[in-house]
Amino acid sequence: MANKKYDPATTAITAGRDDSGALAPSLTSSTTWSSAGLEESHRQAKAIHETKNYSRYANPTVEAFEHAIAELEHTQAALAFASGMGAMSSVVLALCSTGDHIVAQRNCYAGTLAFLNGPCARLGIDVTFVDGRNAQEFADAVRPGKTMLVIAETPSNPRLDLVDLAVLGAIKGPITVVDSTIATPLGQRPHDHGVSLALHSATKGIAGHNDATIGVIAGDADLIGDIWSYSVLHGATASPFDAMNALRGVRTLDARLARQCESAQILAEWLSEQKNVTAVHYPGLKSHPQHDLAKKQMNYLGLVLSFEIAGGKAAATKLLGALKLIRPAVTFGGPESLISHSASSTHNSVDPDTKAKIGVTDSLLRLSVGLEACVDIQRDLATALAQSN
């Protein structure tokens, strides 16, 4: 499926387009299709991954989005879900049974952590957590014959730690999964490094307008087919309307990333010089411990940064109250600049010991850099920082 003839920015404009002549994605809302009779219904029942049957199995609008993601990720196939968590939970439950083992990154999205610590533990799926910054830890934790899945997230949410994709991709035996949400398909391509599956919450940068909840995975056709067989029973099916918005988002992804990542770089450098900011975490900074790895494996260094404020939670509370343009809200990748205090919002459910290990302190704030003029975002931060000590 990979079209290596064009630059990815160009592929993003054409990917997933059908041959109907329509340039914009068409919305097919029908949940079912009539058939010619009993024989035809029987044929459809045996070939359920074809589009003209029933929408939980396949839908043309959702398929157009899946084709686009597969093309951008350089994979044979992709599969969309009702959300990023729908993708993560379906992958785990499709591939793991009681008694199986998973190696997973500790410093990751709190929903993934909660799923691995909650439902997986309850079902008797054993999870070993490792620090993704040293990718060799994943390989060392694999138990041959027992480990079904290795789950990584790079850049990680919210501290922007990186995982070396080449080291991860070299792991043989278990299926390797990279939650690549923060990077987006234009920021990095895990499959090019040998990773089995790239996973995205397309709710974030891909859809990009805070108007669609959707997830997607991309990988080899056989593996995607196996996961599809489970996913039609799991039922975390992507909505055609959200798939349409997500595919519309793909069209402008490169332009948005170019602008937002440029602003993120400027703001990360500027924040590093502010006296009541004690640390800035952004892969584009020379001070980031994995800056060289970022330049090696990423095409865009991201629109998310996090920083630590002197004065802990009290100062963070004042800062969030003083900001006028940047809105306190979870999620990232949309047009609006958003800020969140990870310890009390996205990572509220994480136990104190894990929070300490992954560096989610009371001083940590995550900033999603939006499409506003960078100077306005910077002024808003400057004014609020001055009021927060």
Ligand X SMILES: *Cc1c(COP(=O)(O)O)cnc(C)c1O
CB count within 10 Å of CB 224 equals: 21
In the complex, least distance from residue 239 CB atom to ligand X, rounded to whole angstroms: 12
Question: Which residue number, 94 or 385, has a Cβ lying nearer to ligand X?
Answer: 94
Question: Which residue number, 90 or 388, has a Cβ lying nearer to ligand X?
Answer: 90
In the complex, least distance from residue 187 CB atom to ligand X, rounded to whole angstroms: 13
Taking a C-beta distance cutoff of 8 angstroms, is the pair 11, 72 a contact?
yes
In the complex, least distance from residue 329 CB atom to ligand X, rounded to whole angstroms: 12
Q: Classify residue 213 by burial, with Cβ atoms within 10 Å: 0-12, 13-18, 19+.
A: buried
Of all residues in this chain, which one has the CB nearest to ligand X in the complex? 84
Structure tokens at 240: 């055609």
In the complex, least distance from residue 10 CB atom to ligand X, rounded to whole angstroms: 27
Structure tokens at 371: 């499409």
d(CA 80, CA 163) in angstroms, rounded, equals 24
Question: Which residue number, 212 or 326, has a Cβ lying nearer to ligand X?
Answer: 212
Question: Which residue number, 179 or 308, has a Cβ lying nearer to ligand X?
Answer: 179
For residue 261, give the 3-state DSSP assignment: helix
In the complex, least distance from residue 85 CB atom to ligand X, rounded to whole angstroms: 4
Q: What is the dihedral of CA 135, 91, 214, 197, to 10 degrees?
A: 50
d(CA 344, CA 266) in angstroms, rounded, equals 27
Question: Which residue number, 84 or 283, has a Cβ lying nearer to ligand X?
Answer: 84
In the complex, least distance from residue 203 CB atom to ligand X, rounded to whole angstroms: 4
In the complex, least distance from residue 298 CB atom to ligand X, rounded to whole angstroms: 15
Ramachandran area for residue 99 (φ above 0: left; ψ -120 to 50: alpha; else beta): left
Of the candidates 94, 93, 115, the one whose C-alpha atom is nearest the C-alpha of residue 104 is 115
CB count within 10 Å of CB 6 equals: 13
In the complex, least distance from residue 113 CB atom to ligand X, rounded to whole angstroms: 10
Question: Which residue number, 94 or 315, has a Cβ lying nearer to ligand X?
Answer: 94
d(CA 127, CA 371) in angstroms, rounded, equals 39
Question: Which residue number, 59 or 203, has a Cβ lying nearer to ligand X?
Answer: 203
Structure tokens at 380: 């808003």
Q: Bridge-partner residues for 147, per DSSP?
A: 101
Question: Which residue number, 161 or 380, has a Cβ lying nearer to ligand X?
Answer: 161
Question: Which residue number, 153 or 308, has a Cβ lying nearer to ligand X?
Answer: 153
In the complex, least distance from residue 299 CB atom to ligand X, rounded to whole angstroms: 18
Interface ranges with ligand X (CB under 6 A)? 83-85, 109, 111, 153, 157, 179, 181, 201, 203-204, 213, 215
Taking a C-beta distance cutoff of 8 angstroms, is the pair 204, 333 a contact?
yes
For residue 93, give the 3-state DSSP assignment: helix
Which residues have a Cβ under 8 Å from the Cβ of 228 and sit 6 or more positions away?
Answer: 49, 79
